């Protein structure tokens, strides 16, 4: 879905697993398709079986604007009421100071759970992702997490289309 076509006035929050909140538009999760974008470092890890990409947002003002609107939405009274505590600290996934967007790469049972293809639709492996790649990413707003007096959006990478 193109960010220009997402009407955030239609967003609905629903209780999710544990303290998490699910976010829907017309009973569907928000999945966006980025323009051609670069990863800053390729696949990174926190050392604890959690993997992510940091996407360079310097040339993507529309996407940055959309993420800022999502930030505002998740700080709204509607969202806070689901969290049940208005003293929580919001943690961004978009880092304004260096214009990067951190998206999670689902990893379970020792493998990545994303589709990676080239321009012709051929399947690729995560070994072929590096900081020099131009890519189009399909990214889902998985949920809003709530833990340890903090909360924020989890954006999961669903698919990567390598362009070079």
- CA distances to 19, 85, 130, 139 from 53, rounded to whole Å, are 25, 30, 10, 11
> Is 56 buried (19+), middle (13-18) or exposed (0-12) by CB count in 10 A?
middle
pLDDT (tens place) for every residue of the chain, 164 residues total: 678 788 888 899 998 888 889 999 999 999 999 999 999 889 999 888 889 999 999 999 899 889 888 888 888 888 888 887 778 888 887 787 788 998 999 999 888 999 999 999 999 999 889 887 899 999 999 999 988 889 999 999 999 999 97
Residue 42: phi, psi to the nearest 5?
75, -160
Helix intervals (H) in 38-147: 61-74, 77-83
**What would the two tokens of residue 136 be?**
């189009």
């Amino acid at each position: 879905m193109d960010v220009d076509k997402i009407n955030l006035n239609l967003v609905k929050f629903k209780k999710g697993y544990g303290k998490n909140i699910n976010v829907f538009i017309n009973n569907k999760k928000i999945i966006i398709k980025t323009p051609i974008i670069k990863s800053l470092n390729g696949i990174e890890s926190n050392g604890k079986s959690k993997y992510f990409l940091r996407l360079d947002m310097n040339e993507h003002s529309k996407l940055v604007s959309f993420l800022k609107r999502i930030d505002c939405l998740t700080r709204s009274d509607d969202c806070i009421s689901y969290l049940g505590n208005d003293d929580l600290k919001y943690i961004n996934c978009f880092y304004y100071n260096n214009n990067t967007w951190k998206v999670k790469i689902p990893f379970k049972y020792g493998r990545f759970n994303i589709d990676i293809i080239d321009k012709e639709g051929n399947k690729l492996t995560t070994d072929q992702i590096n900081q020099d790649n131009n890519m189009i990413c399909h990214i889902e707003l998985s949920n809003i997490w709530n833990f340890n007096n903090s909360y924020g959006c989890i954006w999961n990478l669903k698919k990567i289309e390598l362009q070079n």
